[in-house]
Structure 1
Amino acid sequence: MRAYLAGPEVFLPNAREVLDRKIALARSYGFMPVSPGDLTVPETETKYQRGLAISAINESLMSSADLIIANLTPFRGVSADVGTVFELGFMCARGCPAFAFSNATENHFERVSTFYRSDVHLGADGRHRGPDGMALENFDMTENLMLDGGIATRNGAIVTRKVAPDQLFLDLTAFEECLKLAAKRLLKPAVGA
């Protein structure tokens, strides 16, 4: 099975090294990894055209994959990387099995409450609201309910693990746990095994 490996690791200064580690782990569990870091982007005249080319290549890679394993570790804020979220939605819309991991154990509500510096109150409607009046999702889910729901509906799982802040995008322990779960649920054992 071809596993699309989604996540913000492509932005790391040592992206190739981390992606190669993820690729090797995916292979060791019996998957054929498909990684956005493996794309070759054609020369373009503008930055905008380059962005469109990368997007088209990523969509082509996702269309060639059978499942997704997405890194939902909060990236540049309280939620997962928006590109990874798009990729997860794309694969869920295709009906593919979906698995995810996060190197943060706080749920979505806890992270948003921290963002608001705990200035969260119960509104007259019974919903938690921030100082801006906006309601907070409070469903004891790792991420936005659409992400958790999409993964659960496709018989996937989200693995969370607390790691040191400097290891958020380097520690692959939760990723490997995802691979174990995906292999157990999706790959048939070899004959005679």
Structure 2
Amino acid sequence: MQKKIYLAGPDVFLSNGKEILGRKADMTRAAGFIPLCPGDLAPPPVETKNARGLAISGINEGMMRQADAVLANLTPFRGLAADVGTSFELGFMCALGKAVYAYTNVPDDHFKRCAEYYKGDLTQSADGRVRGPDGLSLEDFDMADNLMLDGGIKSRGGAFVIGNAPADRIYTDLTAFAECLRLFAERHGD
């Protein structure tokens, strides 16, 4: 039986999101798996924006329950870290005991991105932690994103592929996605 992979990420927000998800779905099928993409299923007609959001959330959770694995795009989105919805989806799949794989198109680790946010205005406090001028400590674990994301992936035997896409293709370059899919196929293919 073919394994189903839920393709998580902020791709749905892109102006060419359907095209990007279509390319990812084609690559997933070519690797011998069934892609499950957010946005593939239309929510039923509802009366409010809130009800529409809840319907979409329910559809996505249903797809994740059907999936055998998640392949998540954790490229920083609208800030320093991965898209919050994608982070939820990765955690949801971890909690369900599914296989979790991820990639990012940004080579800088979480600590470096946070240090850049503070423009290098960092100090080491008495407790040995690096802190920004607001007093908040920075995670410094040589991880691509928050330790819970990296940890969730690695502790379950998944892979977190670090890509280096050109700035103008940060959300559309599929090189790291292809490598992540290859690793999944190598470990979980039939």
TM-score (normalised: structure 1)? 0.96
- In the alignment, what sits opposite 1:177? 179
**Alignment coverage as a number of residue pairs:** 188
- In the alignment, what sits opposite 1:191? none
Question: Residue 152 of structure 1 aligns to which amino acid in structure 2?
Answer: K
**Quick check: 172-181 or 154-163, which moved more?**
154-163
Kindly indicate whether the alpha-carbon contact (under 8 Å) linking 1:19 and 1:37 is maintained by their aligned counterparts in 2.
Answer: no
**2:146 corresponds to which of 141, 144, 147:** 144
- Written as runs of structure 1 = structure 2, the 5 A alignment for 1:22-171 is 22-171=24-173
Unaligned segments of structure 2, at least 5 residues = none
Unaligned segments of structure 1, at least 5 residues = 189-193
Instruction: Give per-residue Cα distances to partners, 1:68-119, cap 9 Å, x unaligned.
Output: 0000000000000000000000000011111000000000000111111111
Query: How many Å separate the matches in 1 of 2:39 and 2:46?
Result: 18
Question: Residue 137 of structure 1 aligns to which amino acid in structure 2?
Answer: E
Q: What displacement does 1:141 show?
A: 0.4
Percent identity reads: 55
SS in 1 for 2:61: helix
**1:186 corresponds to which of 181, 185, 188:** 188
Question: Residue 49 of structure 2 aligns to which amino acid in structure 1?
Answer: K
- In the alignment, what sits opposite 1:14? 16
TM-score (normalised: structure 2)? 0.97
Q: What displacement does 1:145 show?
A: 0.5
Q: What displacement does 1:37 show?
A: 2.1
SS in 2 for 1:33: strand
Query: How many Å separate the matches in 1 of 2:155 and 2:99?
Result: 9
Q: What displacement does 1:30 show?
A: 1.1
Question: Residue 181 of structure 2 aligns to which amino acid in structure 1?
Answer: L
Query: How many Å separate the matches in 1 of 2:188 and 2:169?
Result: 29
Greater than 4 Å deviation, 4+ residue runs: none
Question: Residue 75 of structure 1 aligns to which amino acid in structure 2?
Answer: F
Kindly indicate whether the alpha-carbon contact (under 8 Å) linking 1:113 and 1:119 is maintained by their aligned counterparts in 2.
Answer: yes
Q: What displacement does 1:165 show?
A: 1.3
Kindly indicate whether the alpha-carbon contact (under 8 Å) linking 1:79 and 1:143 is maintained by their aligned counterparts in 2.
Answer: yes
Query: How many Å separate the matches in 1 of 2:147 and 2:104?
Result: 15
Query: How many Å separate the matches in 2 of 1:42 and 1:119?
Result: 49
